[in-house]
Amino acid sequence: MRFQVVVEVRGRAGIADPEGQTIERALPALGFSGASSVHVGKVVRFDLEASGQSAAEQEAREMCDRLLANPVIEEADVTVRPAEPGP
């Protein structure tokens, strides 16, 4: 079965987020005054061939631990759903 995987990687609480801070400072200068707590992360999307939903989730989680995220400073959310059938 084919699954669509979305991995969102973001810095752990307390880890500096200079890109988020820069955006937060820049928005008021552009006239946007209501934004706060800006955080920037990374998102990795891919298709995954696996035997089932739980196998796909486990494999994606292992990919995070070994390649996609640095667990010392980052945390990752993994979302797996069955791929829509192609045309």
Structural contact between residues 59 and 3, judged by C-beta atoms closer than 8 angstroms: no
Q: Binding to a copy of itself by residue 75, rule CB under 8 A? A: no
Residue 72 beta carbon to a copy of itself: minimum distance, rounded to whole angstroms: 18
| Whole-number CA gyration radius for the chain | 17
Q: Binding to a copy of itself by residue 10, rule CB under 8 A? A: yes
Residues 6+ apart with CB under 8 A from 6: 43, 44, 45, 78, 79
Site for a copy of itself in 14-73 (CB under 8 A): 20, 23-24, 26-27, 30, 32, 34-50, 59, 62-63, 66-68
Cβ count within 10 A of residue 62: 12
Nearer to a copy of itself, 26 or 73 (CB): 26
Given the rule CB under 8 A, which residues bind a copy of itself?
5, 8, 10, 20, 23-24, 26-27, 30, 32, 34-50, 59, 62-63, 66-68
